[in-house]
Structure 1
Amino acid sequence: MNQEVVLYEVHDHVATITLNRPHVKNALNVEMHTALYSAFNEANKDENVRVIVLEGRDGAFSAGADLKSFAEEEVDSVDYGTYLRETYNKLVLQLMNIEKPIVAHLNGIAVGAGLSIALACDFRVAHRDAKIGLGFMKIGLVPDAGASYFLPRLVGLGKATELALGEIISAEEAERINLINQVGTPEPLIAHLKTVSPAAFGLMKKNFRKGFDKSLEEVLEMEVETQRIAGATKEHKYAVAQFVNRA
Protein backbone atom coordinates (compact mmCIF):
# COMPACT_ATOMS: atom_id res chain seq x y z
CA MET A 1 0.00 0.00 0.00
CA ASN A 2 1.32 3.45 -0.89
CA GLN A 3 1.48 5.35 2.40
CA GLU A 4 2.12 8.64 0.62
CA VAL A 5 -1.13 9.19 -1.28
CA VAL A 6 -3.35 7.17 1.08
CA LEU A 7 -2.84 6.90 4.85
CA TYR A 8 -4.11 3.87 6.75
CA GLU A 9 -4.43 3.25 10.47
CA VAL A 10 -6.46 1.03 12.77
CA HIS A 11 -7.44 2.14 16.25
CA ASP A 12 -10.08 0.72 18.58
CA HIS A 13 -11.65 -1.47 15.86
CA VAL A 14 -11.88 1.44 13.37
CA ALA A 15 -9.85 1.54 10.16
CA THR A 16 -9.34 5.12 8.98
CA ILE A 17 -8.40 5.57 5.33
CA THR A 18 -7.22 9.10 4.55
CA LEU A 19 -6.85 10.59 1.08
CA ASN A 20 -3.47 12.32 1.25
CA ARG A 21 -2.92 14.67 -1.69
CA PRO A 22 -3.79 17.94 0.07
CA HIS A 23 -1.94 20.09 -2.46
CA VAL A 24 -4.71 19.24 -4.99
CA LYS A 25 -7.52 18.95 -2.44
CA ASN A 26 -7.13 15.17 -2.49
CA ALA A 27 -8.00 14.82 -6.17
CA LEU A 28 -7.82 11.23 -7.33
CA ASN A 29 -5.23 9.88 -9.74
CA VAL A 30 -4.27 6.34 -10.76
CA GLU A 31 -1.76 5.99 -7.94
CA MET A 32 -4.38 6.93 -5.36
CA HIS A 33 -6.88 4.46 -6.81
CA THR A 34 -4.37 1.64 -6.45
CA ALA A 35 -3.61 2.62 -2.86
CA LEU A 36 -7.30 3.02 -1.99
CA TYR A 37 -8.17 -0.40 -3.32
CA SER A 38 -5.35 -1.90 -1.29
CA ALA A 39 -6.40 -0.05 1.89
CA PHE A 40 -10.05 -1.12 1.65
CA ASN A 41 -8.96 -4.69 0.95
CA GLU A 42 -6.78 -4.68 4.07
CA ALA A 43 -9.56 -3.23 6.23
CA ASN A 44 -12.02 -5.77 4.89
CA LYS A 45 -9.74 -8.72 5.69
CA ASP A 46 -8.73 -7.50 9.16
CA GLU A 47 -11.00 -9.27 11.67
CA ASN A 48 -10.14 -6.60 14.25
CA VAL A 49 -11.80 -3.90 12.10
CA ARG A 50 -15.53 -3.36 12.67
CA VAL A 51 -15.96 0.06 10.98
CA ILE A 52 -14.19 1.71 8.05
CA VAL A 53 -13.92 5.50 7.78
CA LEU A 54 -12.91 7.31 4.58
CA GLU A 55 -11.82 10.94 4.90
CA GLY A 56 -9.51 13.51 3.33
CA ARG A 57 -6.46 15.38 4.56
CA ASP A 58 -6.28 19.06 5.52
CA GLY A 59 -9.83 20.30 5.22
CA ALA A 60 -10.87 18.60 2.00
CA PHE A 61 -12.52 15.27 1.29
CA SER A 62 -11.83 15.14 -2.44
CA ALA A 63 -12.03 17.52 -5.38
CA GLY A 64 -12.75 14.57 -7.69
CA ALA A 65 -10.67 13.33 -10.59
CA ASP A 66 -7.28 14.92 -11.03
CA LEU A 67 -7.59 15.97 -14.67
CA LYS A 68 -4.16 17.57 -14.49
CA SER A 69 -2.67 14.12 -13.99
CA PHE A 70 -3.28 13.47 -17.68
CA ALA A 71 -0.45 14.77 -19.80
CA GLU A 72 -1.60 17.63 -22.02
CA GLU A 73 -0.95 15.60 -25.15
CA GLU A 74 -3.11 12.73 -23.80
CA VAL A 75 -6.30 14.76 -23.32
CA ASP A 76 -7.41 14.44 -26.93
CA SER A 77 -6.86 10.70 -27.01
CA VAL A 78 -7.79 9.49 -23.52
CA ASP A 79 -10.59 6.91 -23.38
CA TYR A 80 -12.56 7.91 -20.30
CA GLY A 81 -14.62 4.73 -20.48
CA THR A 82 -11.59 2.49 -20.17
CA TYR A 83 -10.21 4.72 -17.42
CA LEU A 84 -13.46 4.36 -15.45
CA ARG A 85 -13.46 0.57 -15.75
CA GLU A 86 -9.90 0.34 -14.47
CA THR A 87 -10.22 2.80 -11.57
CA TYR A 88 -13.53 4.14 -10.22
CA ASN A 89 -15.71 1.22 -11.23
CA LYS A 90 -13.37 -1.25 -9.58
CA LEU A 91 -13.33 0.82 -6.38
CA VAL A 92 -17.10 1.38 -6.22
CA LEU A 93 -17.83 -2.32 -6.69
CA GLN A 94 -15.35 -3.08 -3.95
CA LEU A 95 -17.20 -0.73 -1.57
CA MET A 96 -20.49 -2.39 -2.44
CA ASN A 97 -19.10 -5.85 -1.68
CA ILE A 98 -17.57 -4.98 1.69
CA GLU A 99 -20.03 -6.03 4.39
CA LYS A 100 -18.55 -3.85 7.14
CA PRO A 101 -20.04 -0.36 7.71
CA ILE A 102 -18.25 2.31 5.66
CA VAL A 103 -18.54 5.95 6.75
CA ALA A 104 -17.55 8.78 4.41
CA HIS A 105 -16.38 11.69 6.55
CA LEU A 106 -16.80 14.76 4.33
CA ASN A 107 -14.38 16.99 6.17
CA GLY A 108 -14.35 19.69 3.51
CA ILE A 109 -14.99 20.01 -0.21
CA ALA A 110 -16.53 16.88 -1.78
CA VAL A 111 -17.24 17.33 -5.47
CA GLY A 112 -17.30 15.41 -8.73
CA ALA A 113 -16.05 11.85 -8.50
CA GLY A 114 -15.01 12.55 -4.91
CA LEU A 115 -18.69 12.90 -4.05
CA SER A 116 -19.50 9.84 -6.16
CA ILE A 117 -17.24 7.69 -4.01
CA ALA A 118 -18.87 9.08 -0.86
CA LEU A 119 -22.28 8.13 -2.27
CA ALA A 120 -21.09 4.52 -2.56
CA CYS A 121 -20.33 4.42 1.17
CA ASP A 122 -23.00 3.33 3.65
CA PHE A 123 -23.06 6.62 5.58
CA ARG A 124 -22.02 10.20 4.93
CA VAL A 125 -21.26 12.70 7.71
CA ALA A 126 -20.21 16.20 6.67
CA HIS A 127 -18.58 19.08 8.49
CA ARG A 128 -20.82 22.13 8.71
CA ASP A 129 -18.56 24.07 6.33
CA ALA A 130 -18.30 21.29 3.73
CA LYS A 131 -19.12 22.16 0.12
CA ILE A 132 -20.79 19.40 -1.86
CA GLY A 133 -21.69 19.02 -5.52
CA LEU A 134 -21.20 17.46 -8.95
CA GLY A 135 -19.22 19.34 -11.57
CA PHE A 136 -19.17 16.89 -14.46
CA MET A 137 -21.50 18.74 -16.81
CA LYS A 138 -19.56 21.97 -16.36
CA ILE A 139 -16.72 20.33 -18.28
CA GLY A 140 -18.93 18.49 -20.76
CA LEU A 141 -19.00 15.12 -19.01
CA VAL A 142 -21.72 13.01 -17.38
CA PRO A 143 -21.79 12.01 -13.70
CA ASP A 144 -19.85 8.80 -13.20
CA ALA A 145 -18.21 6.56 -10.58
CA GLY A 146 -21.64 5.29 -9.60
CA ALA A 147 -23.35 8.67 -9.19
CA SER A 148 -25.99 7.73 -11.76
CA TYR A 149 -26.93 4.76 -9.58
CA PHE A 150 -26.71 6.17 -6.07
CA LEU A 151 -27.78 9.80 -6.44
CA PRO A 152 -31.35 9.26 -7.76
CA ARG A 153 -31.90 6.58 -5.13
CA LEU A 154 -30.84 8.93 -2.34
CA VAL A 155 -32.53 12.18 -3.36
CA GLY A 156 -35.01 11.25 -6.11
CA LEU A 157 -34.76 11.65 -9.87
CA GLY A 158 -35.79 15.31 -10.03
CA LYS A 159 -33.36 16.53 -7.40
CA ALA A 160 -30.58 14.33 -8.80
CA THR A 161 -31.07 15.89 -12.24
CA GLU A 162 -30.91 19.35 -10.67
CA LEU A 163 -27.72 18.55 -8.74
CA ALA A 164 -26.14 17.16 -11.90
CA LEU A 165 -26.14 20.69 -13.33
CA GLY A 166 -23.29 21.47 -10.96
CA GLU A 167 -24.64 23.63 -8.14
CA ILE A 168 -22.50 23.50 -5.00
CA ILE A 169 -24.62 23.04 -1.89
CA SER A 170 -23.98 23.34 1.84
CA ALA A 171 -23.85 20.49 4.31
CA GLU A 172 -27.17 21.62 5.79
CA GLU A 173 -28.86 21.48 2.38
CA ALA A 174 -27.28 18.10 1.66
CA GLU A 175 -28.75 16.77 4.91
CA ARG A 176 -32.17 18.26 4.13
CA ILE A 177 -32.41 16.43 0.80
CA ASN A 178 -31.01 13.16 2.26
CA LEU A 179 -27.76 13.33 0.32
CA ILE A 180 -25.88 12.92 3.62
CA ASN A 181 -26.93 11.36 6.91
CA GLN A 182 -25.66 13.94 9.36
CA VAL A 183 -23.93 17.28 9.77
CA GLY A 184 -21.20 17.29 12.39
CA THR A 185 -18.55 14.81 13.44
CA PRO A 186 -18.72 11.07 12.75
CA GLU A 187 -17.60 9.83 16.17
CA PRO A 188 -21.11 9.20 17.65
CA LEU A 189 -22.14 7.24 14.56
CA ILE A 190 -18.89 5.28 14.58
CA ALA A 191 -19.35 4.41 18.27
CA HIS A 192 -22.84 3.11 17.55
CA LEU A 193 -21.73 1.10 14.51
CA LYS A 194 -19.11 -0.70 16.58
CA THR A 195 -21.96 -2.16 18.67
CA VAL A 196 -23.91 -3.49 15.68
CA SER A 197 -23.72 -7.16 14.73
CA PRO A 198 -21.27 -7.42 11.81
CA ALA A 199 -23.17 -10.34 10.31
CA ALA A 200 -26.56 -8.63 10.54
CA PHE A 201 -25.20 -5.40 9.06
CA GLY A 202 -23.61 -7.18 6.13
CA LEU A 203 -26.77 -9.13 5.36
CA MET A 204 -28.92 -6.00 5.68
CA LYS A 205 -26.60 -4.13 3.34
CA LYS A 206 -26.95 -6.82 0.69
CA ASN A 207 -30.74 -6.95 1.01
CA PHE A 208 -31.17 -3.19 0.77
CA ARG A 209 -28.88 -2.88 -2.26
CA LYS A 210 -30.49 -5.75 -4.14
CA GLY A 211 -34.04 -4.82 -3.15
CA PHE A 212 -34.32 -2.04 -5.75
CA ASP A 213 -34.13 -4.46 -8.64
CA LYS A 214 -36.23 -7.33 -7.32
CA SER A 215 -39.93 -8.05 -6.91
CA LEU A 216 -41.60 -8.12 -3.49
CA GLU A 217 -41.70 -11.91 -3.62
CA GLU A 218 -37.96 -12.05 -4.30
CA VAL A 219 -37.18 -9.61 -1.49
CA LEU A 220 -39.30 -11.59 0.96
CA GLU A 221 -37.38 -14.73 0.04
CA MET A 222 -34.08 -12.86 0.48
CA GLU A 223 -35.22 -11.93 3.97
CA VAL A 224 -36.06 -15.57 4.72
CA GLU A 225 -32.56 -16.69 3.77
CA THR A 226 -30.65 -13.86 5.45
CA GLN A 227 -32.73 -14.01 8.64
CA ARG A 228 -31.98 -17.72 8.83
CA ILE A 229 -28.27 -16.89 8.75
CA ALA A 230 -28.53 -13.98 11.20
CA GLY A 231 -30.60 -16.02 13.62
CA ALA A 232 -27.80 -18.56 13.95
CA THR A 233 -25.10 -16.03 14.90
CA LYS A 234 -23.64 -15.73 18.36
CA GLU A 235 -24.49 -12.00 18.39
CA HIS A 236 -28.20 -12.73 17.99
CA LYS A 237 -28.20 -15.47 20.62
CA TYR A 238 -26.37 -13.25 23.09
CA ALA A 239 -28.76 -10.34 22.47
CA VAL A 240 -31.80 -12.58 23.02
CA ALA A 241 -30.30 -13.94 26.25
CA GLN A 242 -29.69 -10.39 27.48
CA PHE A 243 -33.27 -9.40 26.62
CA VAL A 244 -34.74 -12.41 28.41
CA ASN A 245 -32.62 -11.79 31.51
CA ARG A 246 -33.74 -8.14 31.66
CA ALA A 247 -37.37 -9.22 31.44
Structure 2
Amino acid sequence: MTDPVLIDRKGAVAYLTLNRPEAGNAVDVALSRCLLDAIVAVEADPAVRCVVVRGNGRMFCAGGDVKGLHAAGDALPEFLNEILVSLHPAIVRLARMNKPVVTAIHGPAAGAGVGLAAVGDVALAEPDAHFTMAYSRIGLTPDGGATWLLPRLIGLRRAQELALTNRRVSAEEAAAIGLITRVVAKGTLAQEVDALAASLARSAVGALGTTKRLLLASDEATLEEQLDAESACITEQGGTDESRTGIAAFVERRDPDFSAAARNAEKSAAHR
Protein backbone atom coordinates (compact mmCIF):
# COMPACT_ATOMS: atom_id res chain seq x y z
CA MET A 1 0.00 0.00 0.00
CA THR A 2 1.41 3.39 -1.02
CA ASP A 3 1.98 5.90 1.78
CA PRO A 4 -0.64 8.69 1.70
CA VAL A 5 2.08 11.27 2.41
CA LEU A 6 5.60 11.03 0.99
CA ILE A 7 8.70 12.66 2.48
CA ASP A 8 11.55 13.61 0.14
CA ARG A 9 14.70 15.61 0.81
CA LYS A 10 16.69 17.99 -1.39
CA GLY A 11 19.54 19.27 0.71
CA ALA A 12 18.06 21.14 3.67
CA VAL A 13 14.54 21.19 2.19
CA ALA A 14 11.93 18.55 3.09
CA TYR A 15 9.07 17.98 0.63
CA LEU A 16 5.82 16.56 2.00
CA THR A 17 3.66 15.27 -0.85
CA LEU A 18 -0.02 14.43 -0.41
CA ASN A 19 -0.19 11.11 -2.23
CA ARG A 20 -3.77 10.01 -2.91
CA PRO A 21 -3.93 11.19 -6.53
CA GLU A 22 -6.76 8.82 -7.43
CA ALA A 23 -8.90 10.55 -4.78
CA GLY A 24 -7.73 14.10 -5.46
CA ASN A 25 -5.53 13.87 -2.34
CA ALA A 26 -8.72 13.95 -0.26
CA VAL A 27 -8.09 13.82 3.46
CA ASP A 28 -9.04 10.57 5.16
CA VAL A 29 -7.92 9.15 8.50
CA ALA A 30 -4.75 7.58 7.08
CA LEU A 31 -3.64 10.74 5.27
CA SER A 32 -4.28 12.99 8.26
CA ARG A 33 -2.29 10.70 10.57
CA CYS A 34 0.55 10.31 8.09
CA LEU A 35 0.67 14.07 7.49
CA LEU A 36 0.97 14.80 11.21
CA ASP A 37 3.68 12.15 11.61
CA ALA A 38 5.61 13.60 8.66
CA ILE A 39 5.37 17.15 10.01
CA VAL A 40 6.53 16.07 13.47
CA ALA A 41 9.50 14.27 11.89
CA VAL A 42 10.72 17.17 9.73
CA GLU A 43 10.08 19.69 12.49
CA ALA A 44 12.35 17.72 14.84
CA ASP A 45 15.12 17.20 12.26
CA PRO A 46 17.73 19.98 12.63
CA ALA A 47 19.04 19.21 9.13
CA VAL A 48 15.68 20.35 7.67
CA ARG A 49 15.61 24.13 7.32
CA CYS A 50 12.55 24.57 5.08
CA VAL A 51 9.39 22.50 4.48
CA VAL A 52 7.35 22.31 1.27
CA VAL A 53 3.80 20.92 1.15
CA ARG A 54 2.55 19.84 -2.28
CA GLY A 55 0.17 17.38 -3.92
CA ASN A 56 0.50 14.47 -6.34
CA GLY A 57 -1.76 14.13 -9.37
CA ARG A 58 -4.29 16.58 -10.79
CA MET A 59 -5.40 18.27 -7.56
CA PHE A 60 -3.59 19.86 -4.67
CA CYS A 61 -6.21 18.65 -2.19
CA ALA A 62 -9.93 17.98 -2.69
CA GLY A 63 -10.69 18.45 1.01
CA GLY A 64 -12.35 15.71 3.00
CA ASP A 65 -12.92 12.29 1.49
CA VAL A 66 -16.65 12.63 0.77
CA LYS A 67 -17.05 8.96 -0.16
CA GLY A 68 -15.60 8.04 3.22
CA LEU A 69 -17.88 10.53 4.95
CA HIS A 70 -20.87 8.98 3.22
CA ALA A 71 -19.79 5.45 4.12
CA ALA A 72 -19.53 6.44 7.80
CA GLY A 73 -23.31 6.77 7.99
CA ASP A 74 -24.57 7.47 11.51
CA ALA A 75 -21.00 7.27 12.81
CA LEU A 76 -20.04 10.41 10.83
CA PRO A 77 -19.37 12.59 13.92
CA GLU A 78 -16.91 10.03 15.29
CA PHE A 79 -15.34 9.59 11.84
CA LEU A 80 -14.85 13.36 11.41
CA ASN A 81 -13.26 13.59 14.83
CA GLU A 82 -10.89 10.75 13.94
CA ILE A 83 -9.66 12.76 10.96
CA LEU A 84 -9.43 16.11 12.74
CA VAL A 85 -7.60 14.80 15.79
CA SER A 86 -4.56 14.55 13.51
CA LEU A 87 -5.32 17.13 10.79
CA HIS A 88 -5.75 20.07 13.14
CA PRO A 89 -2.49 19.53 15.07
CA ALA A 90 -0.81 19.22 11.65
CA ILE A 91 -2.14 22.66 10.65
CA VAL A 92 -1.02 24.17 13.97
CA ARG A 93 2.48 22.73 13.62
CA LEU A 94 2.84 24.08 10.08
CA ALA A 95 1.67 27.54 11.16
CA ARG A 96 3.88 27.72 14.24
CA MET A 97 6.86 25.69 13.03
CA ASN A 98 10.20 27.34 13.70
CA LYS A 99 11.05 26.88 10.01
CA PRO A 100 9.64 28.47 6.85
CA VAL A 101 6.83 26.55 5.16
CA VAL A 102 6.07 26.81 1.44
CA THR A 103 2.85 25.49 -0.08
CA ALA A 104 2.93 24.58 -3.78
CA ILE A 105 -0.59 24.58 -5.23
CA HIS A 106 -0.49 23.03 -8.69
CA GLY A 107 -4.23 22.33 -9.04
CA PRO A 108 -7.62 22.76 -7.38
CA ALA A 109 -7.89 23.11 -3.60
CA ALA A 110 -11.23 22.62 -1.88
CA GLY A 111 -12.44 22.32 1.70
CA ALA A 112 -9.55 21.43 3.99
CA GLY A 113 -7.27 21.87 0.98
CA VAL A 114 -7.88 25.63 1.19
CA GLY A 115 -6.60 25.67 4.76
CA LEU A 116 -3.59 23.54 3.82
CA ALA A 117 -2.79 25.87 0.93
CA ALA A 118 -3.23 29.04 2.98
CA VAL A 119 -1.18 27.92 5.99
CA GLY A 120 2.11 28.23 4.08
CA ASP A 121 4.28 31.20 4.97
CA VAL A 122 4.69 31.55 1.21
CA ALA A 123 2.04 30.03 -1.07
CA LEU A 124 2.80 29.69 -4.78
CA ALA A 125 0.26 28.48 -7.35
CA GLU A 126 0.01 27.48 -10.98
CA PRO A 127 -2.36 29.62 -13.11
CA ASP A 128 -4.83 26.71 -13.38
CA ALA A 129 -5.19 26.32 -9.61
CA HIS A 130 -8.43 27.43 -7.99
CA PHE A 131 -9.94 27.50 -4.52
CA THR A 132 -13.41 26.59 -3.21
CA MET A 133 -14.59 26.29 0.38
CA ALA A 134 -17.37 23.81 -0.58
CA TYR A 135 -18.38 22.84 2.98
CA SER A 136 -22.01 23.98 2.97
CA ARG A 137 -22.53 22.18 -0.33
CA ILE A 138 -22.42 18.94 1.66
CA GLY A 139 -24.03 20.35 4.78
CA LEU A 140 -20.89 20.76 6.85
CA THR A 141 -18.96 23.63 8.42
CA PRO A 142 -15.32 24.59 7.73
CA ASP A 143 -12.29 22.90 9.26
CA GLY A 144 -8.56 22.83 8.57
CA GLY A 145 -8.09 26.27 10.10
CA ALA A 146 -10.02 28.07 7.34
CA THR A 147 -12.10 30.21 9.72
CA TRP A 148 -8.91 31.40 11.46
CA LEU A 149 -6.64 31.78 8.42
CA LEU A 150 -8.99 33.37 5.90
CA PRO A 151 -10.22 36.36 7.96
CA ARG A 152 -6.58 37.19 8.74
CA LEU A 153 -5.37 36.78 5.16
CA ILE A 154 -8.25 38.16 3.09
CA GLY A 155 -10.45 39.98 5.62
CA LEU A 156 -13.69 38.97 7.29
CA ARG A 157 -16.00 40.23 4.54
CA ARG A 158 -14.31 38.20 1.80
CA ALA A 159 -14.02 35.17 4.07
CA GLN A 160 -17.77 35.38 4.73
CA GLU A 161 -18.53 35.42 1.03
CA LEU A 162 -16.29 32.47 0.18
CA ALA A 163 -17.51 30.37 3.12
CA LEU A 164 -21.21 31.06 2.58
CA THR A 165 -21.45 31.03 -1.22
CA ASN A 166 -18.75 28.47 -2.15
CA ARG A 167 -17.68 30.78 -4.96
CA ARG A 168 -14.68 29.47 -6.88
CA VAL A 169 -11.63 31.74 -6.66
CA SER A 170 -9.08 31.64 -9.46
CA ALA A 171 -5.36 31.62 -8.77
CA GLU A 172 -5.05 35.20 -10.01
CA GLU A 173 -7.83 36.42 -7.72
CA ALA A 174 -6.43 34.40 -4.81
CA ALA A 175 -3.13 36.26 -5.20
CA ALA A 176 -4.88 39.62 -5.58
CA ILE A 177 -6.85 39.22 -2.34
CA GLY A 178 -3.98 37.69 -0.34
CA LEU A 179 -5.16 34.09 -0.07
CA ILE A 180 -1.88 33.02 -1.71
CA THR A 181 1.39 34.83 -2.26
CA ARG A 182 1.66 34.79 -6.04
CA VAL A 183 0.95 32.91 -9.26
CA VAL A 184 3.89 31.57 -11.22
CA ALA A 185 4.15 31.09 -14.97
CA LYS A 186 2.45 27.95 -16.23
CA GLY A 187 4.67 24.89 -15.95
CA THR A 188 7.25 26.56 -13.69
CA LEU A 189 5.86 25.80 -10.22
CA ALA A 190 8.37 23.06 -9.36
CA GLN A 191 11.36 25.18 -10.36
CA GLU A 192 10.02 28.28 -8.58
CA VAL A 193 9.33 26.31 -5.40
CA ASP A 194 12.74 24.62 -5.47
CA ALA A 195 14.52 27.97 -5.85
CA LEU A 196 12.45 29.66 -3.13
CA ALA A 197 12.79 26.78 -0.66
CA ALA A 198 16.54 26.53 -1.20
CA SER A 199 16.87 30.29 -0.63
CA LEU A 200 14.82 30.13 2.57
CA ALA A 201 16.85 27.14 3.79
CA ARG A 202 20.02 29.24 3.41
CA SER A 203 18.48 32.07 5.41
CA ALA A 204 18.56 32.76 9.14
CA VAL A 205 15.94 30.12 9.90
CA GLY A 206 15.89 30.83 13.65
CA ALA A 207 15.11 34.48 13.00
CA LEU A 208 12.44 33.50 10.45
CA GLY A 209 10.77 31.19 12.97
CA THR A 210 10.61 33.94 15.59
CA THR A 211 9.31 36.38 12.97
CA LYS A 212 6.50 33.90 12.18
CA ARG A 213 5.48 33.82 15.84
CA LEU A 214 5.51 37.61 16.12
CA LEU A 215 3.30 38.00 13.06
CA LEU A 216 0.84 35.36 14.23
CA ALA A 217 0.55 36.99 17.67
CA SER A 218 0.15 40.55 16.38
CA ASP A 219 -3.57 40.30 15.64
CA GLU A 220 -4.43 39.77 19.29
CA ALA A 221 -1.85 42.10 20.86
CA THR A 222 -1.98 45.79 21.62
CA LEU A 223 0.73 47.97 20.08
CA GLU A 224 2.50 48.14 23.43
CA GLU A 225 2.35 44.35 23.89
CA GLN A 226 3.67 43.79 20.39
CA LEU A 227 6.52 46.24 20.90
CA ASP A 228 7.45 44.46 24.13
CA ALA A 229 7.41 41.13 22.28
CA GLU A 230 9.57 42.58 19.50
CA SER A 231 12.06 43.90 22.07
CA ALA A 232 12.29 40.53 23.81
CA CYS A 233 12.72 38.63 20.55
CA ILE A 234 15.31 40.86 18.90
CA THR A 235 17.46 41.08 22.03
CA GLU A 236 17.33 37.30 22.43
CA GLN A 237 18.15 36.81 18.76
CA GLY A 238 21.04 39.25 19.14
CA GLY A 239 22.78 36.72 21.36
CA THR A 240 22.70 33.92 18.78
CA ASP A 241 25.32 32.62 16.36
CA GLU A 242 22.88 33.52 13.58
CA SER A 243 22.96 37.23 14.33
CA ARG A 244 26.73 37.26 14.82
CA THR A 245 27.17 35.45 11.51
CA GLY A 246 24.80 37.75 9.64
CA ILE A 247 26.21 40.99 11.03
CA ALA A 248 29.83 39.97 10.44
CA ALA A 249 29.05 38.91 6.86
CA PHE A 250 27.29 42.21 6.17
CA VAL A 251 30.20 44.28 7.50
CA GLU A 252 32.72 42.15 5.58
CA ARG A 253 30.59 42.30 2.41
CA ARG A 254 30.20 38.54 1.93
CA ASP A 255 27.36 36.06 2.00
CA PRO A 256 26.54 34.67 5.47
CA ASP A 257 26.66 30.91 6.10
CA PHE A 258 23.68 30.51 8.41
CA SER A 259 23.69 26.73 8.03
CA ALA A 260 27.19 26.56 9.52
CA ALA A 261 26.09 28.87 12.33
CA ALA A 262 23.22 26.50 13.12
CA ARG A 263 25.55 23.50 13.19
CA ASN A 264 27.93 25.32 15.52
CA ALA A 265 25.05 26.23 17.83
CA GLU A 266 23.93 22.57 17.94
CA LYS A 267 27.46 21.43 18.80
CA SER A 268 27.75 24.01 21.56
CA ALA A 269 24.38 22.97 23.00
CA ALA A 270 25.40 19.29 22.91
CA HIS A 271 28.57 20.01 24.91
CA ARG A 272 26.81 21.94 27.66
For residue 85 of structure 1, report the CA deviation from its aligned partner.
Answer: 4.6
For residue 133 of structure 1, report the CA deviation from its aligned partner.
Answer: 1.6
The answer to whether the aligner puts 1:7 opposite 2:14 as a matched pair is no
For residue 75 of structure 1, report the CA deviation from its aligned partner.
Answer: 2.5
Match of 1:100 in 2: 99
For residue 77 of structure 1, report the CA deviation from its aligned partner.
Answer: 3.5
Match for 1:234: what amino acid? D
Match for 2:238: what amino acid? G
Deviates more, 1:78-87 or 1:162-171: 78-87
Match for 1:159: what amino acid? R
Deviates more, 1:108-117 or 1:235-244: 235-244
TM-score by length of 1: 0.93
Rounded to whole Å, the distance in 1 between the matches of 2:35 and 2:249 is 39
- Whether the 8 Å CA contact 1:110–1:132 is kept in 2: the answer is yes
Match for 2:173: what amino acid? E
- Whether the 8 Å CA contact 2:174–2:180 is kept in 1: the answer is yes
- Whether the 8 Å CA contact 2:36–2:86 is kept in 1: the answer is no
Match of 2:213 in 1: 206
Match of 2:158 in 1: 159
Distance 1:220 1:84, change over 3 A: farther
- Whether the 8 Å CA contact 1:203–1:226 is kept in 2: the answer is yes
For residue 242 of structure 1, report the CA deviation from its aligned partner.
Answer: 2.0
For residue 19 of structure 1, report the CA deviation from its aligned partner.
Answer: 0.6
Match of 1:57 in 2: 56
Coordinate RMSD, CA, aligned: 1.9
Rounded to whole Å, the distance in 1 between the matches of 2:84 and 2:18 is 21
Match for 1:230: what amino acid? Q
Match of 1:215 in 2: 222
For residue 39 of structure 1, report the CA deviation from its aligned partner.
Answer: 0.8
- Structure number with higher helix proportion: 2
Matches within 5 A, 1:61-210: 61-70=60-69, 72=71, 74-79=72-77, 82-83=81-82, 85-164=84-163, 165-184=165-184, 185=189, 186-210=193-217
The answer to whether the aligner puts 1:17 opposite 2:24 as a matched pair is no
Match of 2:239 in 1: 232
Where 1:8 maps in the other structure, the secondary structure is strand
- Whether the 8 Å CA contact 2:96–2:212 is kept in 1: the answer is no
Count of paired positions: 245
Distance 1:220 1:3, change over 3 A: farther
Rounded to whole Å, the distance in 1 between the matches of 2:161 and 2:83 is 23
Where 2:140 maps in the other structure, the secondary structure is coil
Match of 2:39 in 1: 40
Same amino acid, percent of matched pairs: 34
Rounded to whole Å, the distance in 1 between the matches of 2:66 and 2:131 is 19
Match for 1:169: what amino acid? V
For residue 189 of structure 1, report the CA deviation from its aligned partner.
Answer: 2.2
For residue 239 of structure 1, report the CA deviation from its aligned partner.
Answer: 1.7
- Whether the 8 Å CA contact 2:33–2:87 is kept in 1: the answer is no
For residue 187 of structure 1, report the CA deviation from its aligned partner.
Answer: 2.9
- Whether the 8 Å CA contact 1:29–1:65 is kept in 2: the answer is yes
- Whether the 8 Å CA contact 1:8–1:18 is kept in 2: the answer is yes
> Where does the alignment leave 5 or more consecutive residues of structure 1 unmatched?
none
Rounded to whole Å, the distance in 2 between the matches of 1:145 and 1:125 is 19
Residues 135-157 of structure 1, C-alpha deviation per residue, up to 9 Å, x if partnerless?
01212222222100000110111
Distance 1:71 1:129, change over 3 A: closer
- Whether the 8 Å CA contact 1:199–1:233 is kept in 2: the answer is no
Residues 47-76 of structure 1, C-alpha deviation per residue, up to 9 Å, x if partnerless?
11111000000232100000212463x333
Rounded to whole Å, the distance in 2 between the matches of 1:162 and 1:84 is 26
Deviates more, 1:146-155 or 1:226-235: 226-235
Rounded to whole Å, the distance in 1 between the matches of 2:75 and 2:233 is 47
For residue 7 of structure 1, report the CA deviation from its aligned partner.
Answer: 0.8
Rounded to whole Å, the distance in 1 between the matches of 2:58 and 2:169 is 17
